[in-house]
């Protein structure tokens, strides 16, 4: 029940050439506290309840627990969510033995593209495609729970 991941900005849409699938995602937060974020997600036609703990000092590792729900259950739980919904399209892109999840945000976060890669251990080597930009692992501005409350357009350094 531990997630190890690194997160990057994406500097071009060249990743779409190598994407082998995508999904539509809507998510909200029952609790966006960094110590115990509780997320509701609808991914295509399936629902999910996810609990995430606080990240370690490097931002790469944290507790994660997930349970699949029916779409109807997830939609009902959306009624209890905090204000701010994340809407995004997630592309899966293979790079060596790993798969990047590349999120293209819509709504209040339109223009933001983030790539995440899950690893087996913190210092595991991985391929960095040319479309990968600055690493933002551990930068809480790019956590979805924070983007739901403070959209990226509100940041003065976002182009």
**Catalytic residue annotation:** 29
Among candidates 36, 8, 37, which has minimal Cα distance to 139?
8
Query: Please, which residues have CB within 8 angstroms of residue 125's CB and are 6 or more apart in sequence?
Result: none
Dmax of the chain from CA atoms? 41
CB neighbourhood size of 102 (10 A): 27
Q: Terminus-to-terminus CA distance in the chain, angstroms? A: 36
With the CA atoms of 108, 34, 15 and 128 taken in that order, what torsion angle do they form, in degrees rounded to the nearest 10? 150
Structure tokens belonging to residue 36: 């115990």
Q: Give the separation between CA 159 and CA 141, rounded to whole angstroms.
A: 15
Q: Give the separation between CA 100 and CA 69, rounded to whole angstroms.
A: 24
């Amino acid at each position: 029940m531990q997630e190890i991941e690194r997160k990057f900005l994406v500097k071009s849409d060249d990743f779409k050439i190598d994407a082998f699938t995508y999904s539509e995602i809507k998510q909200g937060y029952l609790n966006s506290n960094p110590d115990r974020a509780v997320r509701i997600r609808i991914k295509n036609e399936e629902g999910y309840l996810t609990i995430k703990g606080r990240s370690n000092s490097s931002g790469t590792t944290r507790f994660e627990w997930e349970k699949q729900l029916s779409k109807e259950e997830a939609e009902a739980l959306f009624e209890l969510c905090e204000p701010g919904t994340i809407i995004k399209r997630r592309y899966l892109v293979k790079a060596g033995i790993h798969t990047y999840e590349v999120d293209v945000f819509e709504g209040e976060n339109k223009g933001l593209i983030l790539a995440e890669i899950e690893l087996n251990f913190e210092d595991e080597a991985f391929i960095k495609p040319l479309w990968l930009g600055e690493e933002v692992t551990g930068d809480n501005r790019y956590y979805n729970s924070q983007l739901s409350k403070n959209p990226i357009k509100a940041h003065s350094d976002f182009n």
